[in-house]
Structure 1
Amino acid sequence: MAYRNGTYVAFHANGTNRPGGNSDIDYYNLMKAWEGKGDDDFTMNNSHDKASAVRDSSKKATLRASLLERLRNSKNMVLIIGDTTAQDDGWVPFEIAAAVDTYEIPIIAVYTQHSTPIRNPAALRPRWPAALATRIDSQKAKVIHIPFKKAVLNDAISQFSHNYMPQNSLWFYSDQAYKSFGIDG
C-alpha cells in the first residue's frame, strides 16, 4: 500500500509548460516558491516531486502512468481553477476522475480570481471542468472551495486528506476561519 502524504496539484496548462502565458502554471510555480522560501509556515509535500519526471515528449501512456503513481501517493489534490480550467478536456478531467473515483482523496478547489472569502461555491460552477461538476452533482467528490490565498491554502492542505474529508462537495470555510487567516470580506 502506498504511503499517502503528498499533495497533488492539478492545473490547466493550456498546452504549455512555460510561465507567463494563458495557463495556471504560474499559480503552481507560486505555490512551489512559497514552499521553497522556507521563512514562513507554508508547507506542501509536492507529489510531483516524488515520482520520476516525464518530458513533454513522453508518450501519453507513460505520462498517464506517472500521474496515477503520483495520485496514488497523495493525501489530497489541489485543483487550481483559473480562467480556462473549465475548457480543459485533457489531463485535468483525467486527474479529477482518478483522484475522486479511484483514490478517494479530497479536492481543494482554489480559485485564482478570488481573494475574498468564498461563501457560495455553487455560484462558481461556470469555472468548473465537467469532470468536477459531475462529481459535485453526484456528491461523490468531497471538495473545499477556497480563494487563492497562502494562509487558507496552507490550512486546507494540512487539514484535509483521505483520512479527513470536507463534509460535502460544496464545503467552505466559516467567516470565523477567514478572520483567523486575516481575511475579511
Structure 2
Amino acid sequence: MAYRNGTYVAFHANGTNIPGGNSDIDYYNLLKAWSSKTDDDFTMCNSHEKTAAVRDTSSSERLMEVLRDRLKNSKNMILIIGTTTKLDDDWVPFEISQAVDKFKIPIIATYTNISTPIKNPSVYKARWPAALATRINNETASVIHIPYKKTVLLDAIGQFSHNKLPKGKGLGFYNDDAYRSFGIVG
C-alpha cells in the first residue's frame, strides 16, 4: 500500500518548460520556491520530487507510468488553472482522470489571476478543462476552488486529502470566515 503524503501538482505546460509567462509553469515554480524557503510556514511534500525524474523525450507510456506512480503516492492534487489550462488535451486530462477515477484524491483547483474569495466556483467553469468539468458535473470529483494565494493554498494542502474530502462535491469553496482568517476580503 502506498504511503500517501505528497501533493501532486498539475498544470498546463503549453509545450514548454521555460519560465516567462507562456505557461502555468511559472506558478508551479512559485509553489516550489515557497516550499523551499525556510523563513515561513509554507511546506509541501511535492510528489514530483518523490520519484525518478523523466525527460521530455521519454515515451508517452513511460511518462504515464511515472505520473501514475506519483499520483498513487499523493494525498491531494493541486490543479493550477490559468487562461490556457482548458486547452491542454493530453497531460492535464490524464492527470485529472487518474486523480479522480483511480486514486480518489481531492483536487485543489487554484485559479491564477484571481485574488478575491471564490464563493461561486461555477463562475469559472469556462476555465475548466473538459476532464474536470465532466467529473464536477457527474459529481465524481471532490474539488475545493480557491484563488492562487499562498495562505489559502497552504490551508488546502494541509486540510484536504484522500481521507478528508472537501464538501460541496465538485463545487467546494471556503466560507467568509475562512477567507478573513487568510487575510483576504472581497
Does TM, normalized by the shorter one, top 0.5? yes
For residues 146 and 100 of structure 1, the distance between their equivalents in structure 2, rounded to whole angstroms, comes to 18
Q: Could you tell me which residue of structure 1 aligns to residue 118 of structure 2?
A: 118
For residues 88 and 56 of structure 1, the distance between their equivalents in structure 2, rounded to whole angstroms, comes to 16
Q: Could you tell me which residue of structure 1 aligns to residue 153 of structure 2?
A: 153
Give 1:38 deviation, angstroms: 1.2
> Which structure 2 residues correspond to residues 92-103 of structure 1 after superposition, within 5 A?
92-103=92-103
Q: Could you tell me which residue of structure 1 aligns to residue 174 of structure 2?
A: 173
User: What are the Cα deviations for residues 117-175 of structure 1, in whole angstroms up to 9, with x where unaligned?
Assistant: 00110010000000000000001000000000000000000000000001111000001
Q: Could you tell me which residue of structure 2 aligns to residue 85 of structure 1?
A: 85
Aligned pairs, how many?
A: 185
Q: Could you tell me which residue of structure 2 aligns to residue 30 of structure 1?
A: 30
> Which structure 2 residues correspond to residues 1-150 of structure 1 after superposition, within 5 A?
1-150=1-150
3-state SS of 1:77 partner: strand
Q: Name the amino acid aligned to 2:183.
A: G
3-state SS of 1:7 partner: strand
Give 1:113 deviation, angstroms: 1.6
RMSD: 0.5
Percent identity reads 69
Structure 1: give runs of 5+ residues left out of the alignment: none
3-state SS of 1:109 partner: strand
**TM-score, length-scaled by structure 2:** 0.99
User: What are the Cα deviations for residues 95-120 of structure 1, in whole angstroms up to 9, with x where unaligned?
Assistant: 00000000000000000020110011
Structure 2: give runs of 5+ residues left out of the alignment: none
For residues 89 and 55 of structure 2, the distance between their equivalents in structure 1, rounded to whole angstroms, comes to 20
